[in-house]
Structure 1
Amino acid sequence: MPVDTTGRPPTGPVRRAERALAPDLARGAMLLIIALANSAGVAFAGEPGFNNAPQGGESALTFGLFELAHARGYPVFALMFGYGIVQLARRQDASGSSPRQVRALLVRRGAWLTVLGFAHALLLYYGDFLGAYGIVCIAMTWLLLRRGDRFHRIVLVIWALSLVELLVVGGMVVRGLLTGTGHAPLPVGHVGSLAASSYADSLADRLAEWPGHTLTTLPFVLIAWLGMWAARRRILERPGRHRALLVRTAVVGIGIAVVGGLPAALIGAGWLHADEPTAHMALLLHGGGGMFAGPGYVAVFGLVAARVTRPGAVVVRALVALGRRSLSGYLFQSVAWLVLLLPFTLDLAGQHTSPTAVVLVIALAVWLATVLIALRLDDRDLPGPAETVLRRLTYGPGARRRPRRAAPSAIS
């Protein structure tokens, strides 16, 4: 690492041609999972959001939501966030910036993310993650970024211990299912802003909800730390060299997420009955298992990226285009849920006998719209509007342009 305390001015955002494929591919695809989970939460005014009295096909859709969407998308973005912090710092180091300048840049980025998160939560959607990303960015910059490899291996120990804890919770769930009686539903956190009768009421509710929600999401720093560990090894820039690790991670991570989510999915679908304590533990198991979906899904996209021989193929290019503009895509979704699903707006799912089906169709349509918009922007070599704002706030108008040749980066 550089020891010069003056250094050169921070380098501006990374060029499109210098970006690694896997991170953007993962972000673009996983925004569909985010759309499915968040739209259901908005429609059913709960966390997690689901129809608590499903019938027929609604049961199958509810089962799928729990197994594939709820608590399965944000760990991917948390992991990629930690990965990106290292990539941004490495790029600035290589350009000649001093450690102090790099730290200031990342802290400034984190601070503005927190501000944007507050605005997002206040105006659009209580379940904001940007504010938590900003706080975590600042904490990781000060506490973790410049640590050595031995220190960063601590995160692997923490993940191993969390797996042990997950096995204990799983054992308690199995025991409860075998010995308990009752027909308790899964405990759902009611969200007042999503059930409000007017925008003004929802705004007041969100103002009170955002701090608590942000505090509950801060522990994802452990997922982001794993991303930081992976970035130090350039696993996603060189997926072909790490194929064995990626395969193991994909199988184990997704396997744990599927098995861990199974009891809650069955209870939510109405196919399995449990008493109240067991239902509560099943939801804890579901969330803990979802944490492992993060590295599992990211590993899958790393393997896909290693096999891509035509990066210009329309599907790959479309997903990557959205991945490069994932912040804009995420905020676009929140605007869509506000307009389409809340009780005081169109409430498209509220009057249907199959609300889950309607919600999933809307989520898919909104995600496809963001894909098409991102592809159009990509054809014109334009960033997303939210990315433009964050970059200007982070780098300032006078940031140096990147040289034409540089190492690939996972974050802009």
Structure 2
Amino acid sequence: MTAILETPAGPATARALAPDLARGAMLLFIALANAANFAFAGQPGLDGTPHGLQRVVNFLMTTLVDSRAYPVFAVMFGYSLVQLARRHGPRVLLRRNATLIGFGLVHASLLYFGDFLGAYGIVGLICTALLLRRSDRFHRVVLWLWGVQTGYALVLAAVALATARRGDAVIVNHPNPSLAAGSYLSSMVHRLAEWPVHTATVIPFIVIVWLGIWAARHRVLEEPGRHLTLLRRTAIGGLGLAILGALPYALVSAGLLHADAGTVEAMARVHAVTGEYGGPGYVALFGLLAFHLGEARGQAGRVGAAGRVGAAGRVGLAGRVAALGQRSLSGYLFQSVCWVVVFSPWALDLGGNTYVAVLAAVAVWLVSVAAAHRMAARGERGPAETLLRRITYRTAR
């Protein structure tokens, strides 16, 4: 049995740029998705009768964001499990994931039912107990699972095309009562009922997390120069499948394709399943970007393998986004606070408008990037990361 608790090969003096860059950049997509959810008090958070530029926003949200952003964090969560296990061992990792479940409960109770932290904690416990110490041969199973899923997605797409019928159905947002509640107390009551159901439905993303574990065992993002062919094929194939699978549903959401309700529902299923390929696709894209940034910066910005960039090399926009990626937990929670204030009926009540949702998402993300950059300049962790470490390691001691 090949254990993962080995000393990492190569220099350990710098963080790999790709994971932080991916997390920081994709927080913008998480902001777009969650702001839209709040703005329309339902999912997927789209205006069913778009006009003008709303058509473009709906199309881009459906092809690039909806069901395509969260898988990136699932891949990166699996990747981080391996990195943390190498440094601290499984016992600390179990405590950390148990703490994440507590974070998720608090987040869901106070702010947003669509919390993923609790699910990450549960999946992290499962992976730590059952997957992390398995052999390389065992972990190849996850590649076969993704192959089976690809076949399933192709069957769904074929069925949707074969049974497609014209009609006048539009995208309908499935309501979330907690987002439409008239008071904070009422919203909290609804969230406490919604969160367990939501968490249970997203637990199957363990297959996406497992793919991140496989990638981390092969140091794909720490040493992107050794895996350029894999990264290119994954970026093209993953994003290609995610976009093609979303295209019919995206055309309906933009008001450019007209179908009956059954056809739209079938398209939505294809859209959801193929969205998982956006996770590895986007991660691979950021791995390639990190490699080329390391190459461009040369010796001033690179230590060890290309893509491992030290503090001296992290300048400009990429460095600021990576700083947010290092504080992604704080950035994620900060977003939820903002959505509650901006969109809740009992607060500013600015919901129901596509443009407001997009502008709010971009503005909040930019503020979080600026705040993370200031914290990085001062050598400070994010407040949520600091609290997570204190609870985890105090418990460990």
One-letter identity of the residue aligned with 1:84: S
Which structure 1 residue ranges, 5 or more long, are not aligned?
8-15, 93-101, 400-412
Q: Of 98, 103, 109, which aligns to 2:90?
A: 103
What is the CA deviation profile of residues 258-309 of structure 1, one whole-angstrom value per residue up to 9, with x for unaligned ones? 0001111111111111122211111111111110000000001100111112
Displacement, 1:314?
1.4
TM-score, structure 1 normalization: 0.88
Q: Distance in 1 between matches of 2:228 and 2:372?
A: 30
% same residue: 52
Q: Distance in 1 between matches of 2:287 and 2:56?
A: 30
Greater Cα shift, 121-130 or 17-26: 17-26
Greater Cα shift, 311-320 or 227-236: 311-320
Greater Cα shift, 341-350 or 282-291: 341-350
- Contact 1:110–1:138 (8 Å) recurs in 2: yes
- Contact 1:377–1:383 (8 Å) recurs in 2: yes
1:339 aligns with 2:337: no
One-letter identity of the residue aligned with 1:295: P
SS in 2 for 1:396: helix
- Contact 1:176–1:274 (8 Å) recurs in 2: no
Corresponding position of 2:130: 143
What is the CA deviation profile of residues 200-229 of structure 1, one whole-angstrom value per residue up to 9, with x for unaligned ones? 111110010000000011011000000000
- Contact 2:67–2:276 (8 Å) recurs in 1: yes
One-letter identity of the residue aligned with 2:347: T
Displacement, 1:18?
3.2
What is the root-mean-square deviation in Å for CA atoms of aligned residues? 1.9
Q: Of 84, 92, 108, which aligns to 1:88?
A: 84
Q: Distance in 1 between matches of 2:314 and 2:192?
A: 43
Corresponding position of 2:111: 124
Greater Cα shift, 252-261 or 183-192: 183-192
Corresponding position of 1:11: none
Q: Distance in 2 between matches of 1:191 and 1:312?
A: 41
- In the comparison of the two structures, how many residue pairs are matched? 375
1:242 aligns with 2:217: no
1:161 aligns with 2:161: no
Corresponding position of 2:195: 210
Q: Of 367, 388, 395, which aligns to 1:390?
A: 388
Corresponding position of 1:378: 376
- List aligned pairs for 1:157-196, cutoff 5 A: 157-177=144-164, 180-196=165-181
Corresponding position of 1:227: 212
- List aligned pairs for 1:12-27, cutoff 5 A: 17-27=13-23
Corresponding position of 1:369: 367
1:328 aligns with 2:330: yes
Corresponding position of 1:410: none
Q: Provide runs of 4+ in structure 1 moved above 6 Å.
A: none
Displacement, 1:189?
2.1
Q: Distance in 2 between matches of 1:264 and 1:217?
A: 21
Corresponding position of 1:64: 60
- Contact 2:21–2:321 (8 Å) recurs in 1: yes
Q: Distance in 2 between matches of 1:201 and 1:248?
A: 48
Q: Distance in 1 between matches of 2:268 and 2:396?
A: 49
Displacement, 1:187?
4.9
- Contact 1:186–1:283 (8 Å) recurs in 2: no
Displacement, 1:342?
1.4
1:297 aligns with 2:282: yes
Q: Distance in 2 between matches of 1:381 and 1:397?
A: 25
Q: Distance in 1 between matches of 2:260 and 2:157?
A: 15
1:45 aligns with 2:30: no
Displacement, 1:397?
8.0
One-letter identity of the residue aligned with 1:129: F
One-letter identity of the residue aligned with 2:322: V
Corresponding position of 1:404: none
Q: Distance in 2 between matches of 1:87 and 1:36?
A: 29
Displacement, 1:330?
0.2
